[in-house]
Structure 1
Amino acid sequence: MLDVSRRMLCAATLAAMLALAPEAQAQKREFTFAYDQPKTSGYGAAAEMFNRKLGELSKGTLSINQYPSAQLGTEAQTMQKVQTGDIDFVLLSTANASTAQPESGVFSIHFIFRDEAHAIKVLGDPTVIAAMKELYAAKIKGAHMLGLGSQGLRHIYGKKAVQKVADLKGVKVRVQATVTEDTLFPAYGAQVVHMPFGEVYTSLQTGVVDMAENGINNYLINKHYEPAPVLSLTEHEANNAALFVSDKAWSSLSDEQKKWVQASADEISKNEPAIAFKLEREALAKLEKMGVKIVKDVDKSGFQQVSKPIQDKLAKDLGPHAVKVLDLVRNVK
């Protein structure tokens, strides 16, 4: 009789477990997370960081499926897709986010970030993050910003060195499609050319553009040193990024799940920029070993003299949120 009871109990327990299995399975969710750089980039490090923290907080019930290297489209395209809810999360440059909110271009104003340490502090500063959230919320529909990231500082590369501002006169430079770039590079004497990042390699190869500008690790992992073997360390601009979530995905989450997602984004803002700059230093060392010409003695004074009077006017033209963010950036010590 005892054995029968035990068997009945075991059967009842198994039946209960099987009944709960589909429900437990249904609670697990995997979100799409897109970015336009390889997994070995700062973007990839950010995605891994986000996924790890989200899995930890949700006890494995929430995770992301990464789509690196522009698998789901260019940055401008993925910005649109996150707004329509076709992508759950997207990490993209604040420069390219300006296609949806022009004031985002404030983060691309040249020489407002004093150095690596300053950029890292700014991106992790709660006041700056809050101001950037307000900036995007004022214009963007269908998605909102969760956090900030980095891919280091930007530099200019091509077949010739850029040692002073005069070296850019008449040069065709591929830049990100922002009012900021379209104002500052012509002020240096350059001609600006817009194109998706994926077309830069071929354009450098064929002479559609003479030069491009980006972070060191991006220059390395995308092999831009092949058509453009001279890297000039101009440090003219911060290579900032923003993480967005679609309103569609956000509204489907419980209050607790929203806290997990935000905490995972906070992890990026606090820790990813330092990793990105570490990747930059490692990439520079690799490039030097490979024999790529690195121009370290760039005279930045000419660039700074041209850009400084333009900084405040650019921010004012962009809008009140941009003016506020620029002031906050300058005041981060």
Structure 2
Amino acid sequence: MRNPKTIASALIATAAVLFAATAGAQDVKHYRFAHDQQLNTGYSVAYDIFSAKLKELSKGTMLVDQYPGAQLGQEPQLLQLVKSGDLEFAIVSSANTSTISPQAGVMSLHFLFRNEAHVIKALADKQVIDAIKAMIDDTAQGLHVIATGSQGVRNIYSKKEVHKVDDVKGMKIRVQATATEDTMFPAYGAQTVHMPFGSVYTSLQTGVVDVAENSINVYLVNKHYEVAPVLNITEHEANNALVFVSDKLWQSLSAEQKGWVQTAANEISTKEPAKAFDLERTAAEKLMKMCVKIVDKVDKKSFTAIADPYLDKLAKELGPHAEKIKDLIRSIN
């Protein structure tokens, strides 16, 4: 017969192990990271970088789960969810961010960025990032910017070839929800139409719009080539994105946890844009093999001749934060 003291000691030890395991499980928190794009896009790359680094820094106590493909809503809805504290993290285009902070439209100014290297360098620049953070903190409530991201640059696609600016005259083009688009495309002679990203495919199919514009990889993974089989390489606008954290979550974190989140977010700004442009090149290769028509000799000067005079004018009209961000980006060599 076993000694009662031995049995009691064993029970106490078992209870201690179970308590420690339960306490450990309780210390692990799950957070949601949402966006409106499919997997294998710049947005999902941003999630991969962020979630892996935060898991590492927090030693597995802060885990981030991905909700892609607009599972939790289109970008304007995601912003509202973050603002209300019902969603912890989201990555949203800077253009659609203008629905809560109009000055964010500065990131969508046409031909603000000179080339791929300029986009990558600018999005990782501390002064640029700090200026964007200050803009959101001063003009919106309930959320904060913690990182910048990219999905390459935007191009025009339709059923017709576009070789010069005159070719878009009279066309109905779907644009993002920013005043800069409502100024620039009419300046080219086109008519702008607003709609959620999820409606673009059907609208191109039915003729509600003649043209849409986005990055090459987004065009590929969302199969927009099926209804707009001509991709025109205009590279008129950087496809910038901002990563948000809800203020509700931010205020609940310890100083150490905030440090982990920000460090993980910094990894997005420094690593994701280059990976996004790699995805663009891979997507272009796939599209060519699929015999999608790619017009790569667009006369960009015909567009910039119209767009350049608007850069300073629109930034000034948007506000002081926009003007500062524009100046910082243009000063980067």
**Amino acid across the alignment from 2:176:** Q
Provide the rounded CA distance (Å) in 2 between the counterparts of 1:38 and 1:154: 17
- The CA deviation string for residues 31-78 of structure 1, in whole angstroms up to 9 with x for no partner, is 111100011111001101111001000111111111100011110011
Aligned to 1:104: 104
Partner of 2:120: 120
1:17 CA drift (Å): 1.7
Deviations 1:161-208 (A, max 9, x none): 111010011110001010110010000000000000000000000000
User: For residue 75 of structure 2, what is the aligned residue in structure 1?
Assistant: 75
Q: Gaps (5+ residues) in structure 1?
A: none
Match of 1:314 in 2: 314
Q: CA deviation digits over 1:84-109, x for unaligned, max 9?
A: 01111010100000000000000000
Question: Residues 249-278 of structure 1, C-alpha deviation per residue, up to 9 Å, x if partnerless?
Answer: 111111111111111110100100011000
Q: What's 1:179 paired with? A: 179
**More off after superposition, 275-284 vs 18-27:** 18-27
Q: Which moved more, 1:225-234 or 1:252-261?
A: 252-261
Task: Indicate the larger mover: 16-25 or 186-195.
Answer: 16-25
Query: Aligned residue for 1:232?
Result: 232
**Equivalent residues, number:** 333
Q: Distance in 2 between matches of 1:134 and 1:145?
A: 9
Match of 1:252 in 2: 252
1-structure distance, mates of 2:150, 2:250: 23
Matched residue, 1:221: 221
Aligned amino acid, residue 253 of structure 1: L
Corresponding residue of 1:288: 288
Corresponding residue of 1:210 = 210
- The letter of the residue matching 2:280 is E
**1:3, distance to aligned residue in structure 2 (A):** 8.5
In structure 2, distance between residues paired with 1:5 and 1:131: 67
Matched position secondary structure for 2:305 = helix
> How far apart in 2 are the matches of 1:161 and 1:7?
83
In structure 1, the partner of 2:34 is 34
Tell me the C-alpha RMSD between the 2 structures.
Answer: 1.5
Residue deviations 1:113-143, cap 9 Å, x none? Answer: 1000110000011110000001111111001
Residue deviations 1:213-238, cap 9 Å, x none? 00000000000000000000000000
The Cα of 1:16 is off from its aligned counterpart by 1.4
**% identical aligned pairs:** 57
State the alpha-carbon separation in 2 of the partners of residues 58 and 138 from structure 1.
Answer: 30
Q: Secondary structure at the match of 2:154?
A: strand
Question: Once the two structures are superposed, what CA deviation does each residue of 1:277-318 show, in whole Å capped at 9, x if it has no partner?
Answer: 000000000000000000000000011010111110100000
Q: Which residue of 2 aligns with 1:52?
A: 52
Whole-Å Cα distance in 2 between the matches of residues 116 and 3 of structure 1? 75
Aligned partner of 1:194 in structure 2 is 194
Helix, strand or coil for the counterpart of 1:170?
coil
Evaluate the alpha carbon distance shift between residue 199 and residue 61 of structure 1 in structure 2; reply closer, same or farther with a 3 A threshold: same
| SS of match in other structure, 1:174 | strand
TM-score (norm 1): 0.97
The letter for the 1-side match of 2:180 is T
Letter of the aligned partner of 1:205 in structure 2?
A: Q
Instruction: Give the C-alpha shift of residue 7 in structure 1.
Output: 6.0
| 1:327 maps to 2:331 | no
Q: Which amino acid aligns with 2:274?
A: A
| Partner of residue 300, structure 1 | 300
